[in-house]
Structure 1
Amino acid sequence: MNKAEILERLQEIDKLDYNAELRDEIRSLSDVFREYMEQEFHEAKLSKLEGDDKNQKTPEEIQKSIELNKEFKALAEKFKEKDKVWKEKKDEIINEILEKKKELLKRLEFINQTDKAISIKDKYDLFNSIREEWNKLGSLKKEAYRDLKNQFNAEVQKFYHEIEIDKEFRDMHFKKNKEQREEIIEKVRQLDSEAEIWKTDAFLKMYRKEWEDSGMVRKEDFENLKNEFWESYRKIADKIEDFFRKKDEEQEVIVKQKELLIERIRELNKIKSTLIKEWNEQSDKVSEVIKEWRKTGFVSRKKNKEIWDTFNNELDVFFNGKRTFFNELREKRKEIKDRKVAIIDRIAELAKEPGDWNQSTDEVKKLQQDWKQSGRLRSNEEDKLWAKLREVSDSFFEKKKQHFESMQEVKSEIKEEKRQLLTEFEKVEMPDDKEEALDLLSQWQDKWLKAGSANFISEKKLSQQFNDIVRKHQSKLDIHDDEKDMFSFRQKLKRFLKSENGKDLIEREKRFVKNKLREAEDELVKLEDSMALFTFSGKNNSSPLLVEAEKKLENAKKRRDLFKEKSIVLKTTKIVEEEESVKESEENEEKDKES
């Protein structure tokens, strides 16, 4: 029987009065239906794990199966309620049946004790009605019922003995019982052609009960009938027994096969795969095990639950491990992709706004190195991102190339301009007035700075030539070394202020001058202490040591004064910058008001 046929039979039973016999049939049918449900569930899960679309049901089949399962569950709930009520009334029902059977026994006793004036026909009719009602009430399993049944059978024998004098009625009754028993024997024989063994088993039990409840026949007929019945009965019973024995043997073989398959999964679970290739190979092996598992077939519900749970748990271990590995792999790939996209975006930014080309180039090269060390993605995804990286990198280096090609032209122009300045500067005649001469030198220094700088190799040589010309002109002037030093210092500050990092250079120069001033003051204190010793000793003023000490003291004072002056110039430079900043801010505010 398939699920639809089982459900149809259960629906028929639902219309009948619930009793012990129906209860057994309901249990048997329900067990078979649930086995179908479990098989479908296991098949669906294995097909999903295996990725086998061929073994999966169509949407229509799935919907039909769901509807059948739903109807079965509804019926199962109804039977559960009926069984609950039946159990509660079971003792009451049994006692009621016992009382009815006792009443039937009394009626049979009455017939046997009744005067012979009652016709044989009437006795037969009463006897048959009592037997039919007795059989209709069914059998009971209580101990008290055995005695009652024995008493009833004794009265039946007595009845037959009492009416033996009426041969015609007796023969008619025996003939009827014989036909009934022959019919039962034929029904037992026909079970040999029944395909479904569970039906055969159920019907055989039912026919045996019918045989036991059948009436008496002639002794000479009964022996033949009895032999025929039990010969046919044992043949079918042996067939049933042989079926279940073979089924048990087959089940044992299937169980052992399934246990070996479970062990294979266990062994695969012991392998800790760390590569995609390894997991794919393991998955192929698991799929093969699943295919073999399905081929082995199913076992009984009792055995199947235990072995399926074990197999299912091992599969969960494997696929949970696989799922965890690929989830972590996806997270890792996402991190790699995010890093690569960030590298591409950063290089694209540098291509748009490179800033210092040397620093930007170093950063791009480092980013390209980071790309190599960041790991790989899937081929198609890796190729797409690599193409983008090449695109932005090519864009950066192409712009760099264009920049330096244009810079080369600028360098040539600056170089040529500075050469012309050198030629003109060397021919300049310095005024006799020292202040005018220094101012002129300062103007030429401004011209030189204004010409710009391109950091070309020969610039150092040109700057050296310019400084040589400056010193040449200074040598013609009546100025001290300190004045020359301060002149160079002021020109250096001008260069700092024109530089991109001028503020940093100024601050560094302040720290340098501050340290040198402190050193000069410390040295001056030491020299003054030394001079105090000469005065205390009362040595001659013309002493060579004293003269040398005074000379050192004088030079130390000059160095201190020089660094003091530089410190003042630095402070003044800062004040000028702040004043210009304030002035510029005020001018901007005025413009805003006007606008």
Structure 2
Amino acid sequence: MLEEKNDNLQNADGENKQELSHETTEIQPVVEEILEVKDKAEPIAEEVTEEVTKEVVAENTTSNAAMDEIDNSNAEESEDDTIKDRHEIPVLDYDSMSMEALTEELEKLVSNEKVMAIKDHVEEIRKAFMSHFHDLLEEKREQYSEQNEGNTEGFEYHSTIKNKFDDIFDDYRAKKSKHYNQLQSNLKNNFEVRNTIIDDLKNLIESTDDSIGDMFKKMNEIRERWNNAGSIPRDKYNILWNNYHFHVERFYDLIHLDKEARDQDFKNNLEQKQQLIVRAKDLLAEPDVMKAFRELQQLHRVWKEEVGPVDREHREIVWNEFSEITKQMHDKREALNANAHVRELEHFEAKQKIIESINALSTEAISGHKGWQNQMKKMEALRETFFKAGKVPSELNEETWAKFKTAVREFNKNKNAFYKEIKHDQQDNLNKKLALVEKAKSLKDSEDFKVTTPIMKQIQDEWKKIGHVPRKHSDSVWKDFKSACNAYFDRLHKVQNEENKEEIESYENKKNFLDEIKSFELVGEHKKDLDAIKANIEKWKSFGRVPFNKRHIEGKFNKILDALFEKLSLSKKDTELMKFDNRLEHLAENDDNRALEKESYFLRKRIDEVQSEILQLENNIQFITSSSKKGENPFIKEVHKNIDKHKEDLKIWKEKLSRLNQL
């Protein structure tokens, strides 16, 4: 930046004044004024000017991409210091975050950070949020279309989280607008202040009343004011900076007349630049490369704007050393960016595979509602994975997002086609259910419960077998059907409760009698005890039937009988038949035809099993050869004994079946 200024000095004889660049035209009057002073100055001033020029040229001729990048950043930051803070705020993977998380992150940034520091963050958050919201809006529109037979006219969707996001974003825009207005005012004022400082510097140079010591003191004050003057418009930065340093170098030209003071100043500047070099070397070991780069950027600002020149012996050495450190830091930063790009490419490949999986999901042949529900779960899982896969290179972002949206739309298209097809089936189901509703309504007031009850139960069974109906009719048709069925069965239960009064009374009697018979004791005379047991059985029967849900009391009575029969020492056949007769009478009293059929089936099955066991034992015994005398084999005796037992059991089972058949 100083090369143009130095070229202008070298052409100060007026031969090439027309070649001054646009950036230096604003200081042209100053240049001409200096030329007049220079013509009258001692030859030693030319030597100093040459030295200063050589240092500036040496520093600028070694500039490269690293230095250019830092210069551009410093020029931008000179306009607004809050830009420096932007890089210290972590940039999250906003694409993988939900709408709720994005809103929360935006609110945190807007509430706690400067608006210029979060400018890029807010823009990325807004893009991610709107992408998610448009995706959600499309899904809601498709659902609306499904429910309205393809018609989307009148579709509206209001999102609470969208309203909250908009409110926070509006707050951010208001703060940013206020900041820009204040910034422009401050920049304008700061620019005027810096111009005043330059005027004061010019006056200092032209003063003839001050001693060298006073001039140094005033120069230090001017430097302090310059460093604290604040930001200026970006487009004015280079021009104003060149103007200021041009007059700073004029000051060095004048103080060159005092060689001792000049050498001391050169020495101080060298020490400061060496300290900057030491700190820059330390930054090369900083693990956070971006943090180190930002601090190096500040070191460059100090080197360029705050520290003056050094003597000829050291100027090229220190600058080359500082420049080399900058190049190394630049290389580390480029390597970091390259690694980040590699990771972004990996994210890109991962997202491409997810898109392929979604496309494959869309082509699978699915025929049922359950199958599509599973497909939708898989689809949702793939979407979540896509959003969490990380950032892709910016140049591939739009392409990736477009492919993802296309794949999702294709899946939704196939899903919607399926549900549109089953809508016809649902309409048929609705018609069937409406017919059952009308039938139930026509029977709900019937008084012929014996005929109507089976019909109503059949209607309910048919209802269960009918599939889904359109969602918008589901609740109403079920409500009508349930109302008709409840009206009928409530009346039926009321009538049955009236009829069950006798059964309830019978239950209470049997319950009381059960407590009495528990204390019954046999007297030890077989016939007398048997007659007493039979009398208790007859009394129990005389109480009549009990309610269906109270029939467990019969089992309790039978257990007491079993215990009495065991004490009575009846034959097994008599005991079994007496208990069986009691059971049959109980089933007959309750008109439990189904239970009787089950009992008959059980008896026939048991007879077949016993006959098979007898036949098997008789067949087995024919193959047994006795090594002892005939009839003395203990195993054969045991088999014969077992056969006799089974034959006795067979007689009992047949007798039971005979009595059941007679009933």
Same fold (TM over 0.5): no
Query: Normalised by the size of structure 2, how large is the TM-score?
Result: 0.41
| Greater C-alpha radius of gyration | 1
Q: More helix by proportion, 1 or 2?
A: 1
